[in-house]
Structure 1
Amino acid sequence: MNLNLIGKRALVTGSSAGLGEATARFLAAEGAGVVVHGRDARRTERVAREIREAGGTADVVVGDLADDDAAAGVARAATAGGPVDILVNNAGSYRHLTWAEATPDEWRDTYDANVVSGVRMIRHLVPAMRERGWGRVVTIGGGLASQPMDAHPQYNATLAARHNLAVSLARELKGTGVTSNVVSPGAILVEATKDFFTGIGPARGWGRTWDEVEPNAVQALIPNDQERFGKPEEVAAAVAYLCGDHAQYISGATIRVDGGLIRSAF
């Protein structure tokens, strides 16, 4: 399927690793010029360099989106090479905390990093999309938005906010040619996920190596129709589809990429 992304420019926030990196690589392979963003210059440059070595087009911007001035700088740098047609709001932070550990300051910091950061980029980049009559905003959410677990409540709540703001934005953008959607991953196998489940594996009797832990973790915590963890590239594929011409009639939607998650057993 030709997504017709050649000539489009995409900023993927938080794309120096994980789902953001996979999304930047996928969009570049589809012909989009990507802006790789991160807070660590070395890691961000590595992703962009590898995209270029694979034949894609990639620029680099570095900055902390939790800061107003730094976020404005990221937006200026991202548009220096041309207007941004696609905004993938992926950047965010995560700490595994209990209710007792999640202080009000932690809640505020997490909300700023995971919600307001995306709002900053929307405010900087979407007005120009509206003027041009074409644009895509894709927010990366998660299943914990609707099925929160008892741990890291500050993070669960920000996912719900991300889903909500994306739908509100879609209503705001009606009739403009700009769409706003959510891609909601389930348990995706990135290094942080692997480290988390391997860390709790021995205490739960799942084993110590990843080969031992994975099937037990899936069965106990994330039962799904595919009986496995997802791959970053599968999330990236959903994002890329929403960015293409074939998805013009999709707005205000949540696309689940979770293997058909049956329940949340956390």
Structure 2
Amino acid sequence: MDLNLIGRRALVTGSSSGLGEAIARLLAEEGADVVVHGRDEARANAVAEKIGARAVAIGDLATDEGAQRVATQAGEIDVLVNNAGAYEHRGWADATPADWAWTYEVNVVSAVRMIGHLVPGMRERGWGRVIQIGGGLSGQPTEILPQYNATLAARHNLAVSLARELKDTGVTSNVVAPGAILVDAVQRYLTDLAPEHGWGETWETIEANAARDFVPNDIGRFGRPEEIAGAVAYLASPYADYVSGATLRVDGGTIRNVA
């Protein structure tokens, strides 16, 4: 299926590995001119070469200077995917106010910076896409990672507010909300935990049992980066012209509300 992205320029933040890399790859395959972003120039260049992207942008989006540098390097952008983010494994007992502030800066204010730099150009040109990578924990948080859960909620909230702001401009704002996604680090983590939990020895068995215990869903497994990339590519395309202020959940049915 041709998503009509030829001639569109896309910036995927945090795309030098993992989920961001998968998103950047699919957008490039669909014909978009993709800008790979990361903080490590060697890694970003390696991904750009691998997926056929023509540009990289290097900078720390958690700082005003880094975000400005990335925006300048990226140039005019039609599709902004705010994927970059991070968290540290903290709970209520050990997540300090400084941890909360750092997580918010990295996961929320970084996206606000890029919106501020790039969305005015979209408005002037009369077409654009802003896509936040959120998650189900935004609405159904757990007791662990409270500082991270809160930043996901902020991402969802700002996306809807931005959609209202962009009314009648030709620019849309949406969220893709992944469930638990199987990137390399997650597979290694689950494999290491398997003996302790009795999940079996083959990866097929480990994944099914870990999904049952950690993220019960209707598909019985973890999601794949390519499945999130597919949702992003749809929202980036003209086929989603009538979609704004929406959350597209790609979680195997983990979140079980009807909204």
The answer, yes or no, to whether TM exceeds 0.5 is: yes
Tell whether the 8 Å contact from 2:16 to 2:37 is kept in structure 1 after alignment: yes
Could you list the per-position Cα deviations for residues 184-236 of structure 1 after superposition, in whole angstroms to 9, with x for gaps in the alignment?
Answer: 00011002322333344444333566444211111122121211111100100
Which residue type is aligned with residue 33 of structure 1?
D
Q: Name which of structure 1's ranges 93-102 and 117-126 shifts more when overlaid on structure 2.
A: 93-102
Residue 154 of structure 1 pairs with residue 150 of structure 2: no
Tell whether the 8 Å contact from 1:51 to 1:58 is kept in structure 2 after alignment: no
Residue 54 of structure 2 aligns to a residue in which SS?
A: strand
Tell whether the 8 Å contact from 2:103 to 2:148 is kept in structure 1 after alignment: yes
**Corresponding residue number in structure 2 for 1:245:** 238
User: Structure 1 residues 66 and 262, CA, compared in 2 at 3 Å: closer, same or farther?
Assistant: closer
Give percent identity, aligned residues only. 65
TM-score, normalised by the number of residues in structure 2: 0.95
Name the CA distance, whole Å, in 1 between partners of 2:36 and 2:5.
16
Which residue type is aligned with residue 19 of structure 2?
L
Name the CA distance, whole Å, in 2 between partners of 1:157 and 1:230.
22
Q: Name which of structure 1's ranges 97-106 and 166-175 shifts more when overlaid on structure 2.
A: 97-106
Which residue type is aligned with residue 39 of structure 2?
R
Residue 73 of structure 1 pairs with residue 69 of structure 2: yes
1:1-266 equivalence runs, <5 A? 1-52=1-52, 57-79=53-75, 83-207=76-200, 210-261=203-254
Name the CA distance, whole Å, in 2 between partners of 1:171 and 1:208.
50
Name the CA distance, whole Å, in 2 between partners of 1:101 and 1:198.
26
| Cα-Cα RMSD | 1.6
> How many pairs were matched up?
257
Residue 225 of structure 1 aligns to a residue in which SS?
A: coil
Name the CA distance, whole Å, in 1 between partners of 2:103 and 2:237.
31
TM-score, normalised by the number of residues in structure 1: 0.92
Q: Name which of structure 1's ranges 34-43 and 200-209 shifts more when overlaid on structure 2.
A: 200-209
Name the CA distance, whole Å, in 2 between partners of 1:77 and 1:262.
38
Question: Following TM superposition, by how much is the alpha carbon of 1:172 offset from its aligned partner in structure 2, in angstroms?
Answer: 0.4
Gaps of 5+ in 1: none
Name the CA distance, whole Å, in 2 between partners of 1:262 and 1:120.
30
Residue 132 of structure 2 aligns to a residue in which SS?
A: strand
Tell whether the 8 Å contact from 1:37 to 1:61 is kept in structure 2 after alignment: yes
Question: Following TM superposition, by how much is the alpha carbon of 1:86 offset from its aligned partner in structure 2, in angstroms?
Answer: 0.5
User: Structure 1 residues 262 and 172, CA, compared in 2 at 3 Å: closer, same or farther?
Assistant: closer
Could you list the per-position Cα deviations for residues 86-108 of structure 1 after superposition, in whole angstroms to 9, with x for gaps in the alignment?
Answer: 00000000222121121110000
Name the CA distance, whole Å, in 2 between partners of 1:200 and 1:160.
29
Could you list the per-position Cα deviations for residues 71-118 of structure 1 after superposition, in whole angstroms to 9, with x for gaps in the alignment?
Answer: 101000000xxx110000000002221211211100000000000000
User: Structure 1 residues 201 and 146, CA, compared in 2 at 3 Å: closer, same or farther?
Assistant: farther
Gaps of 5+ in 2: none
Could you list the per-position Cα deviations for residues 139-182 of structure 1 after superposition, in whole angstroms to 9, with x for gaps in the alignment?
Answer: 00011111111111111110010010001100000000000000
Name the CA distance, whole Å, in 1 between partners of 2:16 and 2:69.
18
Residue 115 of structure 2 aligns to a residue in which SS?
A: helix
Tell whether the 8 Å contact from 2:136 to 2:255 is kept in structure 1 after alignment: no
Residue 48 of structure 2 aligns to a residue in which SS?
A: helix
